[in-house]
Structure 1
Amino acid sequence: MRLPALAAILSIALSITGVIAALPAPAAAQSSAANAPRVRVDTSLGSFVIQLDAERAPLTVANFLQYVREGHYQGTIFHRVIGNFIAQAGGYDRNFVAKPRRPTIPNESGNGLSNRRGTVGLARTAAPHGGDAEFFINLADNAPLDPQPSRWGYVVFGLIVDGMRVVDEIGAVATGAGGPFESDVPLKPIVIENIEELR
């Protein structure tokens, strides 16, 4: 499972910030490079565009783009959606079969990018450097996912620059048990049909 101790992290987030409200889309300042690579994610609920920050998270972006180019994400689902927290995808097909993955990569959290609403991060296991193909979209400001002096965080490597309305629709779907997961699985599968590089 990715994002370990999710309930505990969410509890911390709520205790620090109170009830997390939906905020305006984040400023593009977090990923300001005019020529930054972008990908369009086509899902069964609509499309959105991610601008990738190859300057702040070069290893993570290169890893993500390699999965994109290999067609890894086609037919994968959003298997974990928690309203006002995160929407996570990229590891399982609609039958909850885990897709093959390459070795994990070094954790680039602490790169100056924060897990703000609309940013895209790399999911990982409890191991600090346990991220591979799965990614998540922050549906709210999730500062507790950022690194702290005493622990690793979750690296941010992209920003939704178009289609946040679609992401919010994903974040509002009904969820329950599904496959190996006891909760937070969309009751109607949300399938990633394709991810395409735009430049």
Structure 2
Amino acid sequence: MDTSKGKIIIELFPEEAPKTVANFLAYVQKDGYKKTTFHRVINGFMIQGGGFSSETGSKVSTLPPIENESRNGISNERGTISMARTGNPHSASRQFFINHKDNAFLDAQGNKWGYAVFGEVTLGMDVVDAIAKVKTGSADKPLQPVVINSITLLEREMK
């Protein structure tokens, strides 16, 4: 992930969250995150992005919502990436967030749906920290846009 604050490398979890990873990659493969922003930033909580154009500020189009995979046993810990959604547990489409701290309260618990973790930052938490510290205004929106220039799929080298 190339952002206006630096690069973030994320390892995805296709075995634990196959539908969520496939959905995220569908956007990546069509440059769907290119020139979008981190539009909601809360230091000590999370940074959320992928849903608004950096050029127009408007919402960008989405694919149909996906099934919630929050019961995959992976906790919303610092550095994990999860799908953002509305109050409807199966409403996630394109927006995601990176946890800035451990947020176990976002995990599925009992009959309560959580937020589906589908990967983790393996390099670039300093960039996540820098984004988390930007000045924000109303609705936790950064005063200066934090742009996602692009997200590129890197194939892991097999040993």
Which of 24, 31, 36 aligns to 1:64? It is 24
**Residue 10 (structure 2) pairs with residue 54 (structure 1):** no
Query: 2: distance between equivalents of 1:184 and 1:128?
Result: 23
**Residue 77 (structure 2) pairs with residue 116 (structure 1):** yes
Report the 3-state secondary structure (helix = DSSP H, G, I; strand = E; otherwise coil) of the residue aligned with 1:106: coil
Report the 3-state secondary structure (helix = DSSP H, G, I; strand = E; otherwise coil) of the residue aligned with 2:141: strand
Which of 129, 134, 141 aligns to 2:102? It is 141
One-letter identity of the residue aligned with 1:57: A
Correspondence for 2:143: 187
Query: 1: distance between equivalents of 2:110 and 2:74?
Result: 16
Correspondence for 1:169: 130
**Residue 52 (structure 2) pairs with residue 89 (structure 1):** no
More strand by share: 1
Report the 3-state secondary structure (helix = DSSP H, G, I; strand = E; otherwise coil) of the residue aligned with 1:169: helix
Correspondence for 1:79: 39
Query: 1: distance between equivalents of 2:10 and 2:101?
Result: 16
Query: 2: distance between equivalents of 1:167 and 1:104?
Result: 26
Higher Cα Rg: structure 1 or 2? 1
**Residue 156 (structure 2) pairs with residue 197 (structure 1):** no
RMSD of equivalent CA atoms = 0.7
Residue ranges of structure 1 left out of the alignment (5+ in a row)? 1-40, 178-182
TM-score, normalized by length of structure 1?
A: 0.76
Query: 1: distance between equivalents of 2:75 and 2:57?
Result: 30
Moved over 2 A (4+): none
Which of 59, 63, 80 aligns to 1:102? It is 63
Superposed displacement of residue 44, structure 1: 0.6
> Sequence identity of aligned pairs in percent?
51
Report the 3-state secondary structure (helix = DSSP H, G, I; strand = E; otherwise coil) of the residue aligned with 2:10: strand
Report the 3-state secondary structure (helix = DSSP H, G, I; strand = E; otherwise coil) of the residue aligned with 1:197: coil
Query: 2: distance between equivalents of 1:188 and 1:169?
Result: 13
One-letter identity of the residue aligned with 2:20: T
**Deviations 1:91-148, CA, capped at 9 Å, x for gaps:** 0012321111110000000101000000000001110100000000000000110011
TM-score, normalized by length of structure 2?
A: 0.95
Report the 3-state secondary structure (helix = DSSP H, G, I; strand = E; otherwise coil) of the residue aligned with 1:196: coil
Determine which structure has greater relative contact order: mean sequence separation of CA pairs < 8 Å that are 6+ residues apart, divided by chain length.
2
Superposed displacement of residue 150, structure 1: 2.9
